[in-house]
A and B are shown apart, each in its own frame.
Chain A
């Protein structure tokens, strides 16, 4: 099947997306025809949503064309609804984000985000920091600049939707900085992160191929240096990537219905998607690749008796060497790649086969819903997202913009659940990024030296791009034992990181960060000062920005009572003012109503 990256397309009818209320549609004579009719343009019209996130009863009607003289728009979302949306789509939000959202509407805001150019790449940021200059302490073997890079991106980059989606994909198509050895590990992981960001609003097929060819995945899953079979010695192609690209990156273990539930036979048995033979065959496709040293320059440095390469290999797709590629026939998933098919052609057939497998939509869609919205999406929700993966409305499969849109605009995402089971545990790294953005962290020296925070006793038990294995920090099917979650048959992936040690480690570490920052990275509470003596206003602001008002009035009242024991006014010391702010943050961001994002 053909695929293509799509431009922002006209928004097809979709009953799950905001619809234009009839009375708001401009009179016909004021409407000009437009080559790109759709809600993206309608965002500039004076329209109102039928209901916040509701609109489920509509049958479209979005194709009403562009207007000539738009009048000022305000969707007037309830603040909690707007905040809730922004905290699913981003790490945190500013009041300017709320204004933009109210001006454009959910859909128009997404279009604007999709059209926003990406921020500086991770590699460019590290270069600007000078991390590419060899130093006698051996930075070319160090991984810490990779940590600085990703924390800086999560805490400051303005293209938040892109970063949030890229981080979500990094938890499914995992490459981890942890085991990287050899030259420039920080650049190898930055190349992977930049590749995610470059394609996360493109097409899944392109993303899959580009990620497959990253030096990071090559190193992490052993396609770098993977050699064809050698009958003389009994050597076989490495099977690691062949297995994990199927099990984890694309189709998963069992055949799925479009709603993400497993297909079963009459006896209730699940049907496996592939066998060991499929893996051993597919492994041949991934032979012949290795890091590409062709663009590298080697520099003599005084403290070494060998030269140091420049970093281009880390950001170049892996190079293909036909001499090392298996020319055997490949039979997998019902497809035959004939013997002697050139390597690049074989790769295309293999990735097309995976991309076109009916599992990809529900398998990818469900996990992305879990990362952004809720741990236990209904099958119908998964089905709607998978349908958009399969066809964006214009006949294109794998259009990721359509997928993100479907995830975030679905009724189930936009409607605040009222049951006592929905939602997800906020990931520790996202909590920290949210704190940083909400409270204006800055670097005293511009270096952003935040290291690996995976430590459980002191740290947050998680660090971006440092999954302990290709299975991510947690599994999409993780069930916390002996809980009502388990009894309900639900899953709670992020709970795999939650235990007696990590909960203590996080609170202790976070308390320290609130007060002192982390190294050169410091919070700036200036914006809190206008409300400093008004504890209710202070807490209301924080509750909206941290939890979309999901911390109940009863809990806010308890916190206010505790805070008010220590009155603060304009003449109070800076120290006491800061204590008040930190007490509010600690209580809000530790309480379970915040931790479970609904």
Chain B
């Protein structure tokens, strides 16, 4: 049964944990009593951890992101994608020699389907380097699932084998990746993890933060998304004491835009405005002293999103935060057309941003406290439509950070084929790993107990394992 409404387990878990902490007494060194506190343990540790969701809106073309490099598999890829003879680029296939600079080498030997070896998109030099040095892993063919599915089960359309709703649809699949529910869901799994972590933080609003627009990923049952601009919190200047020759207007403005209202929409509007004003001074005061020497490309909004995340992490002590969930995003991945022009630019942007971000976490001494994962609406077809690809399902994704057991592939590599039973037509991958499993693996690292993971990811029990291993 597909369930996108979460029972109130996490609230209960929160209460239980709060009671356990209270029982320790003020003098108890919490970190020394982790094991005895049970569910309260990890999430209330004194260390810092952050998960960063890096979302590619539009559906990333997996096949030109993680690309077959060994010749037999490359040739299959090139044939399907319209590559030119002599292993030159053509159609939407990259040329083989273009991949020479981004070949992936696992830290320990790994044998994948049909002995496939991979390279990354030519622009992902920094990501390839992170992989090859063990700081990045690749989760192969992951996507929304309710239960594990074989092709025959998928094609049966039987209620015994439930499928995620509205496969191949942008808005629904991006919602499912973020919340496990289709469009209209109001609680994301990042937000649910935030619910469990919120009590660890001095400022609860600093738990779940979007440096992009409103995103369901960072909305919890209790945790609110806090939205921040790439330049930090934006003050509402006219409400800060004086405007148009009048302090009275400024004072009244602040009252009118923040006061509680009986009309629910008016109130909902003012609640956000009040939050904006309340947090602005706190956040900017904490950000002010932060200096990062790591360079972020200032012409690139995506890099600037990562930069403000890095700056907030740098301000973690001033803000009193121990556990944070961040959301950054970049659009433009829906390349039905112009794939060979547009996708490389997006890959270059991603490479620049994530490389700077990883370097910043090293600079801040938190490389092994911050884990970034990529996500996207869906993968795309392996088949091409002229100069692009169409909506798919499963995709390959990156997990990046010092705590990642990197230099390794996780999951099952799909065949390079339009025919095999690991895809549902035109190379739309049938996921062999569920988003829930990827989330559970991150959640375990973040500090969630087994029951907390179940509360956040109620379908996790449908899958063979809640730990894919990429976090050690």
Q: Which A residues have a C-beta under 8 Å from some C-beta of B? A: 179, 221-222, 225-227, 233-240, 243, 247, 253, 272, 276, 279, 375, 420-421, 423-425, 456-457, 468-471, 475, 477-486, 488, 490-492, 495-505, 507-508, 511, 515, 555, 558-559, 561-563, 565-566, 576, 579-580, 582-583, 586-587, 590-593, 595-596
Contacts and interface: CB of A to CB of B under 8 A. Distances in A.
Given A226-B385, A582-B244, A596-B263, 10 more contacts: A238-B390, A421-B263, A468-B331, A481-B186, A481-B216, A497-B213, A497-B214, A500-B279, A508-B236, A587-B253
A235 B237 contact: no
Nearest to A488: B264
26 contacts: A225-B337, A225-B386, A226-B385, A234-B418, A236-B381, A238-B386, A239-B385, A239-B391, A276-B168, A425-B269, A469-B331, A471-B170, A471-B171, A484-B264, A488-B264, A495-B268, A496-B213, A499-B225, A504-B235, A504-B280, A507-B236, A565-B246, A565-B248, A579-B244, A583-B245, A591-B256
Interface in B217-239: 219, 221-222, 224-231, 233-239
B348 interface: no
Nearest to B249: A583
B168 A243 contact: yes
A97 B233 CA distance: 42
Contacts of A500: 226-228, 233-234, 272, 275-276, 279-280
Interface in B85-103: 91
Contact of B252 (A221, A420, A558, A592): A558
A402 B387 CA distance: 42
Contact of B186 (A486, A505, A566, A590): A486
Interface in B299-316: none
B246 A562 contact: yes
A579 B191 CA distance: 44
Nearest to A487: B264
B265 A423 contact: yes
Given A495-B268, A507-B238, A590 B248 contact: no
Contact of A498 (B186, B221, B229, B272): B272
Q: Which of A179, A491, A499, A580 has the most CB of B within 10 A?
A: A499
Given A481-B187, A488-B264, A595 B269 contact: yes
B267 interface: yes
B332 interface: yes
A131 to B, nearest CB: 25
B224 A482 contact: yes
Interface string B196-216: 000000000000001001101
A508 B267 contact: no
A511 B238 contact: yes
Nearest to B58: A469
B126 interface: no
Contacts of A504: 233-236, 276, 280
Contact of B336 (A239, A272, A471, A558): A239
B245 A482 contact: no
B334 interface: yes
Contacts of B268: 480, 483-485, 492, 495
Contacts of B290: none
A481 B225 contact: yes
Contact of A592 (B233, B245, B257): B257
A385 to B, nearest CB: 22
Contacts of A457: 229-231, 234
Contacts of B265: 375, 421, 423-425, 485, 492, 495, 592, 596
A226 B244 contact: no
Nearest to B387: A225
Contacts of B216: 481
B141 to A, nearest CB: 18
Nearest to B219: A481
B270 A592 contact: yes
Contacts of A592: 256-257, 261, 263, 265-267, 269-270
A501 B214 CA distance: 10
A566 B241 CA distance: 16
A234 B228 contact: no
Contacts of A179: 332
Contacts of A234: 79-80, 82, 383-384, 418
B271 interface: yes
Contacts of B230: 457
Q: Which of A235, A485, A496 has the most CB of B within 10 A?
A: A235
Given A423-B265, A504-B280, A587-B252, A469 B244 contact: no
Contact of B269 (A239, A559, A563, A596): A596
> 8 closest Cβ contacts across the A-B interface?
A592-B266, A499-B227, A500-B276, A504-B234, A484-B264, A562-B248, A222-B336, A481-B219
A511 B244 CA distance: 9
B161 interface: no
B356 to A, nearest CB: 21
A503 B269 CA distance: 9
B4 interface: no
Contacts of A576: 245
B167 interface: yes
B388 interface: yes
